[in-house]
Amino acid sequence: MTNQQIIDWKIASLANNDNSELSEEMQRYLEQNSQLQEELLFIEQFWTSDVKPLVMPSDKLDANFYQMLSRAKTAQQHIPEQYDAQQETTQPLNDYRASSKVPSLSLMDKVKSWLTPMPIAQFATLTLVFVLGYNINKAPNSEINSEAYSVLQQDISSLTTVLAMSMLQKDSASERLSGVAYSRQTNLSNPVLVEQLIELLARDKSTSVRLAIINSLGELESFGLFEQQLLTMATMEENLLVQIELCRLLLNYGSVEIKNLLTEQSSQQQLKPEVQEFIKAQSMASYI
């Protein structure tokens, strides 16, 4: 049992509006981990609050963000020498952590006020402060630091996943496009998020959103159980642009069996002439 498994369960239950209870094993694990309890509470509050659309980071901002994380890691590795000197400067972070235990509304107010004016920088700061708040004043050694860094990365991924899933449910197509972009940042490591994307791909009215989803699915290591579903969508799809992109996705990243099935369907003229032409061109290109 890991923290990530419980976080994934929480995200899935929030996304599906499912009030099912934790398994006994998960419950026991959670009872022994107060930090995780607070983290779940935070995720729940983050989900239920009205999240405003956030700025998508430019490559430069993205790079700065990861530099910041890297600096955080380096700083933690030097904590033994600097620990005393840092006690004073980390006090505000400790205070912030303490304040998260008092009425949760004040924390959410802070989060909301941070999310509005300069969103992505503050999202990064929020994530950093949130995790450092838990980790910075623990007795440091290299093993714990490495673990803390890994937790830091997991937490960032979890928050981005929560944000992505929340945005994918918005009414505005532009916000759903943001949700797809956030999904890509998580490398689609959460299967619930992938399921939500594929469900949206099947029913979204906006071609732009559907094309963005198909493009993001190229990030998956493998399509696994979704592959057959994607093939069915590719053959039944009526929107030409979406059908072609689904075929491109499967031809480029699908298993050999799926590629053969798709090529077979194309040769039997079960697909639109334009799609048949596209598949033929792709097949010819792959021989070059």
With CB under 8 A as the contact rule, which of the stretches 5-13, 122-130, 205-213, 263-271 interacts with other proteins? 205-213
Minimum CB–partner distance for residue 181 and other proteins (Å) = 6
Q: Is 55 in the site for other proteins (CB under 8 A)?
A: yes
Minimum CB–partner distance for residue 271 and other proteins (Å) = 15
Task: Name which of 68 and 173 has its Cβ closer to other proteins.
Answer: 173
Both structure tokens of 221: 């290591």
Q: Could you tell me if 280 and 266 are in contact, meaning their C-beta atoms sit under 8 angstroms apart?
A: yes
Q: Could you tell me if 227 and 256 are in contact, meaning their C-beta atoms sit under 8 angstroms apart?
A: no
Task: Name which of 35 and 67 has its Cβ closer to other proteins.
Answer: 67
The DSSP secondary structure of 156-192, one letter per residue, reads HHHHHHHHHHHHHT-SSHHHHHHHHHHHHHTTT--HH
**Residues 166-185: x/- map of binding to other proteins (CB under 8 A)?**
------xxxx-xx--x----
Distance CA 253, CA 129 (A): 38
Minimum CB–partner distance for residue 95 and other proteins (Å) = 31
Task: Name which of 143 and 238 has its Cβ closer to other proteins.
Answer: 238
Angle at 187 between CA 185 and CA 193, to 5 degrees: 90
Count of Cβ atoms closer than 10 Å to residue 67 Cβ: 10
Q: Which of 36, 128, 211, 231 binds other proteins (CB under 8 A)?
A: 211
Q: Could you tell me if 205 and 176 are in contact, meaning their C-beta atoms sit under 8 angstroms apart?
A: no
Binding site for other proteins (CB under 8 A): 53-56, 58-60, 119, 172-175, 177-178, 181, 206-209, 211-212, 215, 218-219, 221, 239-241, 244, 248, 252-253, 274, 278, 285
